Amino acid sequence: MGRKRHCRAFRLCGNLKSGYMSLPKVIAELVEAQDNFDSKAYANCFTETAVVFDEGKTFKGKAEIEDWIEKANKEYQVTMNPLEYSEMKQTLKAEIAGSFPGSPLVLTYHYEFRDGLIQSLEIV
């Protein structure tokens, strides 16, 4: 388990409105897992057959997703600050910061959901 950080108020789990944003439970859990550098909790936000597309690479299944985020956490220590969520577009814009060139950046996370979990994630 990674270093613990306190979540900002709007990152509370479960469709709770706090601050100016309401995030679905699984997205709130994903952000919290990312900020805690907890690759296991991050991977648990995904279905068994989920797919992640990031930086031209594809990661399939929870085990591969957990391995990918574990390596990224060790190398870059990325944290997420959600800026805007669109339920209709199923997107989250977030400022990410870490030990990578150009930090911080604003990225868009495109989601597809199944049974309350993430089935597909594309980060652009």
Report domain extents, the chain: 9-123
Whether 12 shows a pLDDT value over 60: the answer reads no
Say whether 115 sits in a helix, a strand or coil. coil
Cα–Cα distance for residue pair 106/58, rounded to 1 Å: 21
- DSSP 8-state class, residue 6: P
Domain 9-123 has CATH 3.10.450.50: yes
Tokens of residue 99, six digits: 């030990």
Tell me the per-residue pLDDT of 79-102, one tens digit each, with 9 for 90 and over. 999 999 999 999 999 999 999 999
**If DSSP states are collapsed to H, E and C, what string results for 7-18?**
CCHHHCCCCCEE
The answer to whether 77 and 99 are in contact (CB under 8 A) is yes
pTM check: above 0.75: yes
Residue range 21-77, pLDDT digits in tens: 689 999 999 999 999 999 999 999 999 999 999 989 999 999 999 999 999 999 999
